[in-house]
Amino acid sequence: MVPRFPHSKFVINWLKALMLSPGMLFPASYLLIYLSTNIYLNADFKKNLSRSITQVTGNRWQISINSLTSGLVLDSVTLNHIELTPVVRPQNSTQHATHAITITSLKIACPELQNILFSRKERLSSTQAVCEKILSDKRLAQ
């Protein structure tokens, strides 16, 4: 006997039903939000954080961050290889020089991280919370 193969239309319809099932839609949606959050963190959030650090320190420190990643359940941010460098000003050359501060990894709790893509208020509060944590760790590292 020759084995019977299902019709191609049946297979296509079955695959459509599988892809549109709640068991597939929820993980796909979550993965999309997770990846979008990580892309945003490494693009705009880094720039906003850099501006915030510069502004809070009165243009005395600049920050460089290698990468930012969100926690798996979007409840924290991990910053990798943070480097705080003092801004050198010619008129302050008589003061003692301060050295760059390097923090290898820093995990910061941000319980509302999933909302930064959708709310300007959450973006600003998250940026401020991360900025304060970095500056407090900078003081500990000195």
In a domain, 3, yes or no: no
Low-confidence ranges of the chain (pLDDT < 50): none
The total of structural domains in the chain comes to 1
Question: Within a domain: residue 72?
Answer: yes
* Within a domain: 123: yes
Which residue matches tokens 């500056």?
Answer: 135
The residues facing 102 across adjacent strands are 83
Q: Is residue 2 part of a domain?
A: no
105 part of a folded domain: yes
Report pLDDT for 66.
92
Residue 28, token pair as written in the block: 């796909």
Read off the pLDDT of residues 39-65 as tens digits, 9 standing for 90 and up: 988 888 899 999 999 998 888 889 999
Is this prediction's pTM over 0.75? no
The CA radius of gyration of the chain, in Å to the nearest whole number, is: 23
Judge whether 1 lies within some domain: no
The boundaries of the domain holding residue 115 are 8-90+98-141
